[in-house]
Amino acid sequence: MKKPEVMVIGLDGATFDLIDPWVKEGRLPNLERCLNSGISARLRSTPLSNSAQAWSSFITGKNPGKHGIYDFFEPKIDDYGIRFINASFRKGKSLWKILSEGGKSVGVINVPITYPAEEVNGFFIPGLDAPGVDKDNFSYPSGIVQTLQENAGGYILEAGIWGYIRRGEPHLALEKLLESIEVRTRGAIFLLRRYQPDFFMIVFTESDKVQHHFWKYIDPERRESKIYADKPYSQAILKVYQKLDQSIGELLEETGGGSTTFIMSDHGAGPASNKTMFINKWLSGIGLLAYESNGDIVRKGKRVLRQILSVTDEVVKKRLSRRMKERLLRYFPELRNRVDSLLSLQGIDWSRTSAYSRENHPAIFINLKGREPSGIVSQGREYEEICKKIIKELGKIRCPETNEKVVGRVWRKEDVYSGEDLYRAPDIIFEWKNHTYVHRPTEPGASNGFLKRLSHEELERSENLIRPSGIHRDYGILIGLGEHIKHGEGLPEASIMDLAPTILYRSGIPVPSDMDGRVLFEFFEKDFADKNLIRQTLVNSEIISENKTVTYSGNES
């Protein structure tokens, strides 16, 4: 069998914070072998560590200001609502399209934000933004899922564990995650043998899912609570990592060491703090956001809406179409973020609001004329003054318990993004200092202030409906090994945008000049790097996606 020149194994949300100690304990033998025989680096995600923009930056080698994807949704033009988006909204050619046009065969499985399937020189199975495997344009070629069902025991698009979590059956959720990894690995090996692509990539999102829902069982700050102490799930995340480690071993055995392999993640992970900042409540307190006179009535409706979200799985089964149920399960907790974002904006008086947050990220938008549906802030001096005020006031926020600063670094959007879609980015982005706080949707009845420490009971309720116990962190993982990769000490860090140009370089394909990432020469053996100078393709302007924009029908969105 012909081996891929390059193989990429994505472990969504994987972090060295867990891998390193487990490797030292001998629990992840294949990852240990990879680390010992190759080179590694922490992989810096995109700002806000959002999966949609991070994977899109991997795919294009560009920052979100160029490819235009900032989240799994985008604001509607005529109001402050949102709509689902997918890969057809992305600007710029994908890595696999460039490889295909360069004469390389490719095989891609389960990379997020890649629906609808691209017509490539090989095969393509999209990730979780797909509405369902039965769509005509779900895969390329169109019958590939049926082929897997007939020859490899089926295909699982996403584990869909929310229903089990909501019903209080986390043991079944864990079983489903492990099954999903096994089924996808089996299908990947079948397709590798059948197509024998030059470039092969597979992503496992199970690492991200298990961390979202099970981190609370390994969080040292929660062990004192009876809610978590007696639960037998402290090994859940490890079990998923061990299953992934097994899959890595099987894939490496299949390629026989003749490929250049990159193991990577789009971001890292860590525990969600029990300390919360309600960003919109804070903005209201400094005079930049106003609520309607009947805001209290409107905001009480939030709890009713959350009750709708928490409807039992039995009711969901009776009321919703199969496709809608699949979509709900796939997108959770991403779906929660969208709904919470909408809830956070209820009751706002836009005629008196200069700034707001969707509260799904530590990010603030200026209510700008010409961009926002009911913008009141003028571009220029007024805009600048409000941005400066927000930055100054963020620096003043102190934890009432420790008197330490709550907010760490703060950026203007032009500090971290560039490109023709810069105008759509949040105007102010900030980070929580030392991860001691986290954002949650403003719920005025919860507290008189904008800072609050949640009890264990409040956390448990919050994690069922608002925020998971494991959240994203800035740094994922990158491990390089195999053909032409040197052994030894790795880099301090690399950017997720560096992977696309590095893969093109390794494949002998010219790198487009408008990519923001760089070739990671430090990963390659000196002889290979000396003999293979980087080649570039000049790009004079942004290349708009060749796909026609695909929207979701009512029962899909």
Q: Identify the segments of the chain with pLDDT beneath 70.
A: 135-136, 223-231, 294-344, 443-448, 462, 464-467, 540-557
Question: Residue 545's pLDDT is what?
Answer: 45
Considering 413, 447, 467, which residue would you say is the last residue of a domain?
467
Considering 467, 483, 510, which residue would you say is the last residue of a domain?
467
- CA distances in angstroms from 29 to 9, 26, 179, 268, 517, listed in the order given: 16, 6, 20, 21, 31
Say if 556 falls within a structural domain: no
Beta-carbon contacts of 379 under 8 Å, excluding residues fewer than 6 positions away, are 368, 369, 370
Same domain (yes/no): 182, 108: yes
Range of the domain at 116: 6-270+474-537
Closest C-alpha among 211, 277, 230 to residue 438: 277
As for how many domains the chain has, the answer is 2
Phi, psi of 122 (to 5 degrees): 155, -130
Same domain (yes/no): 102, 81: yes
Say if 389 falls within a structural domain: yes
Closest C-alpha among 467, 464, 458 to residue 163: 464
Beta-carbon contacts of 455 under 8 Å, excluding residues fewer than 6 positions away, are 274
CB count in 10 Å sphere of residue 182: 16
Say if 554 falls within a structural domain: no
Same domain (yes/no): 151, 172: yes
Question: Residue 162's pLDDT is what?
Answer: 79
Say if 555 falls within a structural domain: no
Look up the pTM and report it: 0.90
DSSP string, 442-500: --GGG-SSSEEEPPHHHHHHHHHHT--SEEEESEEEEEEEETTBPPS---SEEEGGGHH
Q: Give the whole-angstrom CA distance, residue 35 versus residue 488.
A: 9
Same domain (yes/no): 289, 348: yes
Positive or negative CA dihedral for 491, 212, 302, 317? positive
Same domain (yes/no): 254, 301: no
At 122, is the secondary structure helix, strand, or coil? strand
Q: The tokens 């105007």 sit on which residue?
A: 427
Question: Residue 341's pLDDT is what?
Answer: 53
Beta-carbon contacts of 435 under 8 Å, excluding residues fewer than 6 positions away, are 270, 271, 273, 473
